[in-house]
Amino acid sequence: MHLRSGVSMVKLDLGSGPRDFWVSDESDWLHLDCEPYEGVIQWTCPEPIPVKDRSVEVAYLGQLLVELSIEQQLALADELVRVMKDDGVIRVHDYDGVLGYPEFFRRLEQHGWRRVKEELVNVFEEPDGTILCTYMVELKKIRWCRVVIKF
Ligand SMILES: C[S@@+](CC[C@H](N)C(=O)[O-])C[C@H]1O[C@@H](n2cnc3c(N)ncnc32)[C@H](O)[C@@H]1O
């Protein structure tokens, strides 16, 4: 099944959770989660994401990677490579940013998806004193990069 097959612009909220946790309420977002929340398309990673190849403009993963095994993360990266438009953007909000999920980000990087931004979002202190940090990472597909060195 492919959703909104006639729509060329798709925004995905993957692992969206229930409505109160959605990244946006705007109607052009599709919310997907393994749980049958109201208004959410049921999808369990590593199943294929039910949209067409190269149809997604924005994909948002809010604390989904932390829930997945490395195998599931790699399958998700492969699916993102399939569904994202070349000029799309992938945003990941999760614990420890790129350092937390090296295999996932490396797989995307192998397909040209590079980190263009990484920002600290939250710092929590656990009851045992452990400090947890979440980061927002933004990835774009870079075809080539020219470095000019001036002497
Ligand atoms: C920590 S919540 C994040 C919710 C929301 N994105 C946010 O940023 O607050 C993680 C969500 O991922 C979903 N999830 C966990 N494993 C999943 C899987 N294998 N496939 C799809 N969704 C999954 C959970 O049901 C849950 O709603």
Give me the architecture of the 10-141 domain, per CATH. 3-Layer(aba) Sandwich (3.40)
pLDDT class for 148, splitting at 50, 70, 90? Answer: confident
pLDDT class for 105, splitting at 50, 70, 90? Answer: very high
The three-state secondary structure class of 49 is coil
CA 77 remoteness from chain centre: 8
Contact 45, 74 (CB under 8 A): no
Ligand 1 site, residue 97, Cβ cutoff 6 A: no
At residue 4, does pLDDT exceed 70? no
Ligand 1 site, residue 136, Cβ cutoff 6 A: no
Q: What is residue 2's predicted lDDT score, i.e. its pLDDT? A: 55
CA 139 to centroid of ligand 1, rounded, Å = 20
Q: What is the mean predicted confidence (pLDDT) over 1-10?
A: 58
Strands of 10-14's sheet, edge to edge? Answer: 41-42, 29-33, 10-14, 56-62, 84-95, 131-141, 113-125
Ligand 1 site, residue 16, Cβ cutoff 6 A: yes
pTM flag (> 0.85): yes
Contact 117, 137 (CB under 8 A): yes
Going from N- to C-terminal start, the domains of the chain cover 10-141
Best residue for ligand 1 mutational test, from 34, 49, 66, 91 (most atoms within 8 Å of Cβ): 34
Question: Which among 13, 8, 23 has a CA at the least distance from the CA of 53?
Answer: 8
Ligand 1 site, residue 64, Cβ cutoff 6 A: yes
Tokens found for residue 126: 């656990």
Phi, psi of 25 (to 5 degrees): -95, -5
Q: What is residue 29's predicted lDDT score, i.e. its pLDDT? A: 97
pLDDT class for 145, splitting at 50, 70, 90? Answer: low
Q: Average model confidence (pLDDT) for the chain?
A: 93
